[in-house]
A and B are shown apart, each in its own frame.
Chain A
């Protein structure tokens, strides 16, 4: 009666590999991230509806040029991420590592830009809890509260992304990521695109609202 059966996934020496499963898990994780930001988007939507004029006015004080540059930087980094995955599939390990390094570099550029942007805001006294900001109407206080909260959380995600990519770099170097086993890199890519997509929404909500 006892029948030997193949499981849905292949097993090699006790270690099972299931690309479909790994990808499914990552997609679910990406959903949870979207919902995490979703709470903030709800808050933004509600307060913007309540204080449309003040949001409009406060948005004009953000540095649109830096915002657009960062958008281009992040979009380009998504491209290099994809190229890195394509390269490893074609067994071009060196090329894959170079593209991954580009992605990390662009992520770092994004963070540096963000740093200078925040620094300028702090310089002008535009940060949560500052006297200067508390003297302004509630809508503007909320705008900057949301601005720092949402770009801050996004910045944290960019930082985590860069750290994860540096781990992937080590995996690539040690052949733990290969042309026939690159799910880790692909999932990192999924995460990185999520970070990118969230920024695509942050740009119009904060910089283009003016």
Chain B
């Protein structure tokens, strides 16, 4: 896509500078990305462990390894960690930070120092939230959604957890603001909007959602704190406030947040599929428009989390309709990815395998979402394991698998090292099998009526719970194998060519790992992205 041919430079890689300070005070977007990536992976492993303990609790009926109150704390922390510390920063803060500037042909983001600040805010938010474990009167037990009035009345340390989430929200806003400005101001010469690769496009859509929705979460969480400390009364029915207002404000952010989590994932998949199909992406413009469409429509559907809260019939019909509409742009993407594979020379290497699993699992997640958009079914499955299964298919099967796909895809570029490809595939198998055993069972259990967030279950759900728990063991085994393989790869000294997969976006024109300034000479873009062969070049 670029006419600039990178001559092999002797510029040292961005890892060249040594010492703790060179990392903690860096303004290099690539180093900040590595900081994000390593902290997020750590949080992911913590969240995964908590989740595994929850499954273990359900292995037998009655108390297995913990008390009901511990279970409440566990699902709250699992949710808070996975959502605020893993999937919300997600692919944007890690791979977005690393590759957005490179893919649009820039030397860094628009505000490098604000970029570092946002990592510090993220880490302080994480520390504040995790400090709720050891301070006050115990970890919060409200669920990650902090619903009032319980979150105002519970004696547990909700205040710290909420302040932590508030701080992380601030970090998210700064990242979004930075990316929007970067994309508007720093694209390389010749890279007009329709020549921008799809991952930056997805980040652009995500950033707008981050910027426009996160402040609502900020004010909502701030009000919960004010409510707890000063008894303001806005949400507290005993003073005159309305808890439903909390739900509206909370989901006004937290539904768009779902798209903050999934849009960059979709962007990464749109990069990986053409590279391993060796074929230009099908329907580039449709994918671009659907990204922006998801961002816009996704901001209008929040009340579908509240169908059973007593909204007017008129309101829920509108929100149900809007919810169905969001499925259209998501489906457009899925069709385009599948169409890209058609007549491509598909190469099943680890990133591609994860990407294909993403399409499969995300489709199940998306379609089960439509079940719940239907008003009558929603009443039946509300607050059951069906919901839990659904959002794990979207968040973990979707964002999680896309994260792993991106990790395997960009790993050689980021680290200048290579993992063992066979081991990566061998780790994938238990992850995929365990995942489906665990969460498909959840879908079934939910339809049978198993309510979520209970630490115990009735005898008729017992078999399902055993299946799911066994699934969780297989899944965790696979995840540990995957992480082990990736970590081991870091210590295997090899030389990685600039373009190990045959990709055509700009990051594959620079050395692996890239030098600090990314490009010796800033590229000039003369073609649309994903131009793989002469035929595509002519028709483009």
Contacts and interface: CB of A to CB of B under 8 A. Distances in A.
Interface of A: 1-9, 16, 18, 20-22, 24-25, 28-29, 31-33, 35-40, 42-43, 46-47, 51, 128-129, 134, 137-139, 141-142, 145-146, 148-149, 153
Given A22-B111, A38-B219, 16 more contacts: A2-B3, A5-B188, A16-B107, A25-B111, A28-B176, A28-B180, A32-B177, A35-B212, A39-B220, A47-B234, A47-B241, A128-B231, A129-B230, A129-B231, A138-B239, A146-B234
Interface stretch (B132-140, B421-429, B520-528): B520-528
Nearest to B241: A142
B4 A7 contact: no
Contacts of B114: 25
Nearest to A136: B240
Interface in B77-122: 106-107, 110-111, 114
Contacts of B3: 1-3
Interface in B365-408: none
Contacts of A129: 230-231
B488 interface: no
A39 B249 contact: yes
Contact of B240 (A6, A18, A38, A139): A139
Nearest to B106: A7
Contacts of B18: none
Given A2-B5, A7-B188, A31 B212 contact: yes
A8 B186 contact: yes
Nearest to B520: A2
Contacts of B153: none
Nearest to A9: B185
Nearest to B180: A28
B5 to A, nearest CB: 5
A153 B166 CA distance: 15
B216 interface: yes
B524 A3 contact: yes
A16 B107 CA distance: 10
A145 B185 contact: no
25 contacts: A2-B3, A2-B5, A4-B521, A5-B189, A5-B190, A8-B187, A9-B185, A18-B185, A21-B110, A21-B181, A24-B181, A25-B110, A25-B177, A32-B214, A35-B212, A37-B219, A39-B215, A39-B219, A39-B223, A39-B249, A46-B242, A46-B245, A128-B231, A138-B240, A145-B233
Contacts of A24: 180-181, 184-185
B451 interface: no
B539 interface: no
A171 to B, nearest CB: 15
Given A4-B522, A24-B181, A145 B186 contact: no
A35 B522 CA distance: 37
Which of A51, A128, A145 has most B Cβ within 10 Å? A145
B277 interface: no
B184 A21 contact: yes
Interface residues of B, number: 50
Nearest to B226: A149
B455 to A, nearest CB: 34
A8 B185 contact: yes
Contacts of A138: 239-240
B249 A42 contact: yes
A193 B188 CA distance: 34
Interface in B231-277: 231-234, 239-242, 245, 249, 252
A5 B232 contact: no
A35 B4 contact: no
Nearest to A127: B230
A153 B185 CA distance: 33
Given A141-B233, A145-B234, A38 B186 contact: no
Contacts of B220: 39
A5 B523 contact: yes
A142 B219 CA distance: 17
B218 interface: yes
B178 interface: yes
A32 B212 CA distance: 6
Contacts of A145: 232-234, 239, 241
A35 B215 contact: yes
B180 A36 contact: no
B470 to A, nearest CB: 44
A99 to B, nearest CB: 27
A36 B215 contact: yes
B211 interface: yes
A186 to B, nearest CB: 16
A39 B216 contact: yes
A7 B180 contact: no
A128 B229 CA distance: 10
Contacts of A21: 110-111, 181, 184-186
